Amino acid sequence: MSKTTVESLATDLHALPSQVQHVLAELGAEGDNGKLELDADTLEIVKEAVGEMVQNKQIALLTGSTPRDIASALNIGHAEVQKSLVKAGTLVALTTALQPEVAERIVESFGYSVKWAEPPKPKIKQEDDRVRKRAIGTQPRPPVVTILGHVDHGKTSLLDYIRKTKVAEKEHGGITQHIGAYQIVHDGKKITFLDTPGHEAFTAMRARGAQVTDIAILVIAADDGIMPQTVEAINHAKAANVPIIVAATKVDKPEANVNKVKQQLTEHELVSEDFGGTTPVVPVSAKTGEGIANLLELILLQSELMDLKADPGGEVEGVVIEARLDKGRGPVATVLIENGTLKVGDTALIGNAWGRIKAMFDFQGSPVKDAGPSTPVEILGLDSVPNAGDHIRQYLDEREARETAEKIRDAERESQLAGKSAKVSLETLKQRMEEGESKELRIVIKADVQGSVEAVRGLIEKIENPEVDVKVLHAGVGSITANDVLLASAASAIVVGFNTKVEPTATSEAERHRVQIRQYRIIYELIEDIERAVKGMLEPKYEEKYLGTVEIRQAFKLSKAGAVAGCYVSDGLINRNAQVRVKRAGEVIWEGKLESLKRFKDDVREVAAGFECGLQFDGWKDFEVGDQIEAFETVRVDA
């Protein structure tokens, strides 16, 4: 046995005390007051493990570490850590639990990397992310509620009734504002309602990676029962992993039948509490107000169960609920704050828009100076209109915010030019699995008639594979709609159509969100494709896409820059990433890539027909005046 201390071990090993402490903690060999008694073998193990951390420049942190923890792990002053936080655009208290990404960024700025002593959950599924987010912070926050359901079942009436009866009238009696969300107080507790009902908006936000809803209220008219959009809404809420409370509404009507609603719900795995399940079903009426207090109580109860928390002093996080260009006021955005506190005067980057916040208004149109977790606020001062679902980030430095906004705009332009292939497709399933992205193939099915929906669903669900779970998220009758695509996008799924059409809006949404739509007329081809994809046997197909024709009109052989072809684009266009085929007297004499594309002296991304340009070829210079160049791209065709 040899006696030592953490400090002296650290000095001997040229290590940080925190590295030694971490290794000791892992071995369960912590001593009292830093005094250690280790046998020779343990000492060797400790030395080796600490040595490894020193070599890899690693420090260990627990999830939820604060700036103070980082300072002590790095053995530096608090001020230094705070300086680095400020540089990263984050202003938080020394005792604020940092998001893992932020902690990593800060530690990296000191040349170290983080070894998570209790590793954060992998960021694969949004659901997991939500769980992490819900638990972050120390202060309880109000729940954010969305109302879903079939058209005409009473969603708007319910929202209006709650708003009318639960929001105290403002003294100035101002105009009722609709900023996309409002907040009520029931039993002294707040609830935030998103007032764009329906799963379209709900899923459109999710498709943009923003899930703000904590609880979904599924409205079902008790005189009508479950309808097709009710089923869609159920599947959308389930895919988002959001708890559902059912409001069986219009119970003031004589033909209302709540029991029938409960019965129908069991077919969708929502079993009401009095049928032995866990789904609350509340009879309500937006006409008489019956049951609405009960509904609000259940929302608060559910929210308590979920232990929703945030950190008002932490990093600002929030999502745009809606945004528009106002003639008098310029770009206006409603942001739902998720964490931290946003203040007038803060510099913010939202999507690709940025600005210094000039003014903020609550949902009743009153000016406010700050907004904390779960609060919807309208903000003014952005330089352009962001999109619903965009995330907000707070910056301390205006220049940095502007430059980042410009970079994002550039990148967006570039990716539009480059074209995109589907993010999830049958062809890339195997690759995604190997990269650890997914072990599940999620599918949305649309077919011409109920019979084929059932047939396709039955066959797909029968496909078995030890490595991949095939899961049908939603199956319905009719053409493929934008909604189906948004659901697929939000849940990283593909859309399969059988004997059905694709609505034009669905095609454009699919392009925008890079969702694969596959259509079939023969059922066994559909099943075979999915089976082969699951086995990883479906190879992506590539196709050549013609870009343009370019003539070589001059040949410069410069000693320094090499050989440059002076060209004229006679058809289409040529871009920097194009592949080229050089033809002389009709014969292809060279094929390859460009080394550079210039207009006058400047490098450019693209030159269109009717303009001159200078070209250099990657590793080839034997061109002649009169050669014809065909420019093309190879694109992946997914469906």
Residues that bind ligand GDP (CB under 6 A): 149, 151-157, 197, 249-250, 252-253, 285-287
**Least separation in angstroms between CB 434 and ligand GDP:** 45
3-state helix, strand, coil in the chain (%, to 5): 30, 35, 35
Residue 176 or 577 having the CB closest to ligand GDP: 176
Residue 143 or 154 having the CB closest to ligand GDP: 154
**Least separation in angstroms between CB 222 and ligand GDP:** 9
Residue 189 or 287 having the CB closest to ligand GDP: 287
Residue 146 or 516 having the CB closest to ligand GDP: 146
Bridging pattern class, strands 587-599 and 612-617: antiparallel
β-bridge partners, 328 = none
Strands in 559-627 per DSSP E: 562-575, 579-584, 587-599, 602-603, 606-608, 612-617
β-bridge partners, 502 = 480
**Least separation in angstroms between CB 255 and ligand GDP:** 10
Quick check: 567 and 552 in contact, CB under 8 A? yes
Residue 164 or 593 having the CB closest to ligand GDP: 164
What burial letters (b/e) apply to 257-293, b meaning 16+ CB within 10 Å?
A: bbebbbebbeebebebeeeeeebbbbbbbbeeeebbe
First CA to last CA distance, the chain = 69
Residue 251 or 607 having the CB closest to ligand GDP: 251
**Alpha carbon distance 560, 574 (integer Å):** 25
For 18-53, the DSSP string reads HHHHHHHHHHT---BTTEEEE-HHHHHHHHHHHHHH
**Least separation in angstroms between CB 258 and ligand GDP:** 12
Residue 82 or 481 having the CB closest to ligand GDP: 481
**Least separation in angstroms between CB 184 and ligand GDP:** 18
**Alpha carbon distance 551, 440 (integer Å):** 50
**Least separation in angstroms between CB 157 and ligand GDP:** 3
**Alpha carbon distance 21, 73 (integer Å):** 10
Residue 285 or 374 having the CB closest to ligand GDP: 285
**Least separation in angstroms between CB 224 and ligand GDP:** 10
Cα 513 to its chain centre, rounded Å, is 11
**Least separation in angstroms between CB 287 and ligand GDP:** 4
Quick check: 108 and 193 in contact, CB under 8 A? no
**Alpha carbon distance 381, 344 (integer Å):** 10
**Least separation in angstroms between CB 161 and ligand GDP:** 8
Tokens 């196709």: give the residue.
543
Residue 347 or 481 having the CB closest to ligand GDP: 481
Q: State phi, psi for 217 to the nearest 5 degrees.
A: -100, 120
**Alpha carbon distance 409, 383 (integer Å):** 13
Residue 216 or 526 having the CB closest to ligand GDP: 216
Quick check: 329 and 380 in contact, CB under 8 A? yes
Residue 224 or 606 having the CB closest to ligand GDP: 224
**Least separation in angstroms between CB 176 and ligand GDP:** 16
* DSSP one-letter code for 366: -
CA angle 539, 515, 532 (to 5 degrees): 30
Residue 253 or 343 having the CB closest to ligand GDP: 253
Residue 237 class from Cβ within 10 Å (0-12 exposed, 13-18 middle, 19+ buried)? Answer: buried
**Least separation in angstroms between CB 180 and ligand GDP:** 15
**Least separation in angstroms between CB 335 and ligand GDP:** 25
